[in-house]
Amino acid sequence: MAPGTNRTAIANHIVSRLQETLVQAREQWQRSGIVSNCYIDNVLPVEVALLIRQAFPAGDLLKIRSSLRELKFIGTQMNQYDPIVEEALYAFQDQRVVDLVSQITALQGLLPDELLYAGGISVMTRGHFLNPHIDNSHDKNRALYRVLNLLYYVSPEWSLEKGGNLEVWPNGMGEKQQTIESRFNRLAIMVTNKHSWHSVSPVVAQDTRCCVSNYYFSRFPAEKEDYFHVTSFRGRPNQPVRNLVLKADAGLRNAVRKIFPKGVVRTKHYYNKGKD
């Protein structure tokens, strides 16, 4: 691993950049609307961000998620990849970073997730997508609320026209979405609650979109009142049939979770540190 690329060194850069942009990020968060979000550019020195991208595993080394809901490669077993990828991911869990994100969002009691439940890394190529959805409201034990999604993008020369961009639907799929470009070396922060419908637009370029993902949890909900829901998908405005299928699927899974609060199938989307 290159000098200065351990998690503490990377976290030092993140802390410095968040401190520089704290006021602007907080203002952006406050005026973003129903689905609170903000983004910070130039998070790391370019040479460090490029090293992280170069170290990303190819799709055939990752798991593929393929359904009406999504098409993408994901990875959580971080010890199977180049160490700098794991170091970069956990740099966003440094307590100093967590504290600064708390100042930006005004959310209290933030807890990063060492086991990477639903977090990790993702790789998307041409044709990959993520349909509009809200994330599962809790951790795998239903003990903590999932309140923040942190997405760090590391694909050089990415542009809006290539697709693969974060979309936020503050007024549901009946209204136009807000698009946040998956720009190289950008950190996007988004609230996770029962209103935070979001998606990733289909990748249309012969290029690869790489993302480092973290979720923060809390004992306190991201809203004034308690809530619970499973990850629930919808169709895009031009997908009425898919919307009906996905809506029925979400309704069924929510009903099952009310009967079995901790679920009936054990999730495999987490980092098993005892596994090679």
Count structural domains, the chain: 1
Beta pairing, strands 129-134 & 232-233: antiparallel
pLDDT of residue 263: 56
Is residue 103, in this structure, part of any structural domain at all?
Answer: yes
**Residues of the chain predicted below pLDDT 50:** 264
So what's the pLDDT on residue 226? 86
Residue 275's pLDDT is 75
270 in a structural domain: no
Q: What whole-number distance in Å separates Cα of residue 150 and Cα of residue 168?
A: 14
Q: What is this structure's pTM? A: 0.94
- Residue 78 within any structural domain of the chain: yes
Amino acid 15: pLDDT: 98
CATH number at residue 16: 2.60.120.620
User: What letter would DSSP give residue 114?
Assistant: T
Domain containing residue 52: 7-259
Q: For 19, list phi and psi in degrees, rounded to 5.
A: -65, -40
Residue 273 lies in a domain: no
| The pLDDT of residue 146 | 96
Could you tell me if residue 100 is inside a domain? yes
The verdict on residue 234 lying in a domain is yes
Q: Is residue 265 part of a domain?
A: no
Strands (E), the chain: 37-40, 63-66, 70-75, 111-112, 120-124, 129-134, 145-153, 166-168, 178-180, 186-191, 198-200, 209-218, 232-233
